[in-house]
């Protein structure tokens, strides 16, 4: 008998189940974003524009260093969902213990990577002298908490694979409140500046990770986590890597293009950096809502592929594309329309606000294309193909943006020209992913085999 928080994605209506699955996932992602948004708002209001720029300038670099490992959690999601759809409970349980072990090892490795490479990489990005010391402090404290960040991400991937998107939402709600309270307390009472917001974020993530682990340990059946069973199953690890490593490499190399773009933004000075940071944070809420549909498509496609319910795969993808288009357009246009108010929450500096509005004018109106692009990637990965979407994305988006920076941006050095590289790359890459999905789908049976 299924637990109330699990979901049978292989039978029944698709749209209603997609919405029930995706909505808590959207809220969870938004709460995770609030960790960083709370950091940015508190330092922007109580510590000044330099501290605001310091926190914001680290995001692309943090993603670059973390994305390879986060990508492995995508492999966990796909593998658990496929085994769950095929009703292979022993394989599910073995994958759970392998995933938790990998998360802890990854977290420890990231501590050393973050501590050793933070400042050299920030210098390589051309981070201004008036910002770099604070940026380094923020990153080093943030990376000290990487084991719990990894543990939460891998544990949540297991829960999502069986349809449980509600409990991660509850846990992040608790952690989010703690984060905001500690942010304000550390900055306003102890005057800890960026160190205070980084520490608050880490402590809140300890709570969310602890609650996820507790839920797995108290689970019954194939999801039950037992400390004595922790270890790495080589066959399961290989399958996780086959799907997850290309996803992680894609994220990391994507981040290289974003780091180059951040470096280009840095060349316009700390005020432009601060304005860019505020807009990025606002856009992050749009992206996170759309990313929930990507994860929904990934899980639904994986379960149905594992359960040999091939007749549902096209309908799942079309449903998710329709939903992500509506979500992206509604949220993007809303953020663009309310841009001045939203940017003003982060900073009262008129120059910072104007720089933020300039970016929102482009991203808010076109971000839904990025959502469609990612949703198609979810469908392809759910069918077990991970290298193909990585190659397509790196060519169509990452390489495209790098070429743009060294050609078009050099001919017309403005932030508008820089920002236009994003929607242009999304259009090219989305078209390529659609073609790839159609080719892969033709290789699979049209009718169910279960």
1 pLDDT higher than 60: no
Query: What are the domain boundaries of the chain?
Result: 15-443
Q: Give tens-digit pLDDT for 165-181.
A: 999 889 988 988 898 89
In sign, the C-alpha dihedral spanning 409, 354, 54, 184 is negative
| CA nearest to 183, candidates 168, 193, 171, 173 | 193
What pLDDT is attached to residue 450? 57
pLDDT mean across residues, the chain: 89
Could you tell me which residue, 208 or 42, shows the higher pLDDT? 208
Q: What is the 3-state secondary structure (H, E, C) of the chain?
A: CCCCCCCCCCCCCCHHHHHHHHHHHHHHHHHHHHHHHHHHHHHHHHCCHHHHHHHHCCHHHHHHHHHHHHHHHHHHHHHHHHHHHCCCHHHHHHHHHHHHHHHHHHHHHHHHHHHHHHHHHHHHCCCCHHHHHHHHHHHHHHHHCHHHHHHHHHHHHHHHHCCCCHHHHHHHHHHHHHHHHHHHHHHHHCCCHHHHHHHHHHHHHHHHHHHHHHHHHCCCHHHCCCHHHCCCCHHHHHHHHHHHHHHHHHHHHHHHHHHHHHHHHHCCCHHHHHHHHHHHHHHHHHHHHHHHHHHHHHHHHHHHHHCCCHHHHHHHHHHHHHHHHHHHHHHHHHHHHCHHHHHHHHCCCHHHHHHHHHHHHHHHHHHHHHHHHHHHHHHHHHCCCCHHHHHHHHHHHHHHHHHHHHCHHHHCCCHHHHHCHHHHHHHHHHHHHHHHHHHHHHHCCCCCCC
pLDDT in tens, 176-223: 889 889 988 998 888 888 899 899 989 999 999 999 999 999 998 899
pTM of the model: 0.81
**pLDDT at 331 > cutoff 50:** yes
Looking at residue 2, its pLDDT comes to 47
| pLDDT score, position 53 | 78
């Amino acid at each position: 008998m299924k637990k109330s928080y699990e979901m049978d994605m292989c039978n029944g209506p698709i749209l209603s189940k997609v919405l029930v699955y995706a909505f808590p996932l959207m809220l969870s992602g938004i709460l995770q974003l609030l960790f960083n948004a709370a950091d940015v708002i508190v330092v922007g209001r109580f510590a000044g524009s330099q501290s605001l720029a310091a926190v914001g300038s680290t995001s692309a670099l943090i993603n670059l260093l973390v994305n390879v490992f986060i990508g492995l959690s995508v492999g966990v999601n796909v593998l658990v969902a496929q085994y769950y759809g095929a009703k292979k409970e022993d394989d599910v349980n073995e994958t759970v213990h392998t995933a938790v072990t990998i998360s802890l090892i990854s977290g420890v490795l990231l501590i050393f990577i973050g501590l050793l490479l933070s400042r050299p990489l920030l210098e390589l990005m051309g981070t201004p002298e008036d910002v770099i010391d604070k940026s380094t402090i923020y990153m080093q404290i943030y990376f000290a908490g990487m084991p719990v960040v990894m543990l939460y991400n891998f544990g949540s991937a297991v829960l999502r694979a069986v349809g449980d998107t509600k409990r991660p939402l509850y846990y992040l709600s608790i952690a989010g409140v703690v984060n905001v309270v500690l942010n304000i307390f550390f900055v306003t009472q102890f005057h800890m500046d960026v160190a205070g917001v980084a520490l608050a974020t880490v402590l809140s993530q300890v709570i969310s990770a602890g609650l996820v682990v507790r839920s797995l340990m108290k689970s019954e059946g194939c999801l039950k986590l037992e400390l004595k069973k922790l270890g790495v199953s080589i066959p399961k690890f290989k399958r996780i890597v086959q799907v997850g490593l290309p996803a992680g490499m894609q994220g990391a190399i994507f981040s290289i293009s974003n780091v180059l773009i951040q470096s280009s933004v840095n060349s316009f000075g700390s005020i432009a950096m601060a304005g860019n940071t505020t807009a990025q944070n606002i856009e992050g809420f749009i992206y996170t809502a759309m990313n929930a549909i990507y994860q929904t498509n990934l899980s639904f496609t994986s379960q149905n592929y594992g359960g040999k319910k091939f007749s549902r795969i096209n309908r799942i993808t079309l449903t998710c594309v329709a939903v992500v288009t509506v979500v992206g357009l509604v949220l993007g246009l809303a953020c663009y329309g309310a841009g001045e108010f939203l940017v003003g929450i982060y900073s009262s500096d008129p120059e910072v606000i104007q720089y933020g509005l300039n970016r929102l004018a482009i991203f808010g109106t076109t971000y839904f294309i990025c959502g469609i692009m990612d949703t198609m990637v979810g469908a392809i990965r759910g069918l077990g193909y991970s290298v193909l979407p990585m190659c397509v994305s790196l060519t169509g988006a990452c390489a495209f943006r790098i070429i743009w920076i060294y050609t078009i941006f050099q001919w017309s050095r403005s932030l508008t020209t820089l920002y236009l590289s994003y929607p242009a790359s999304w259009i090219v890459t989305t078209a390529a992913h659609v073609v790839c999905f159609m080719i892969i789908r033709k290789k699979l049976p049209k009718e169910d085999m279960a």
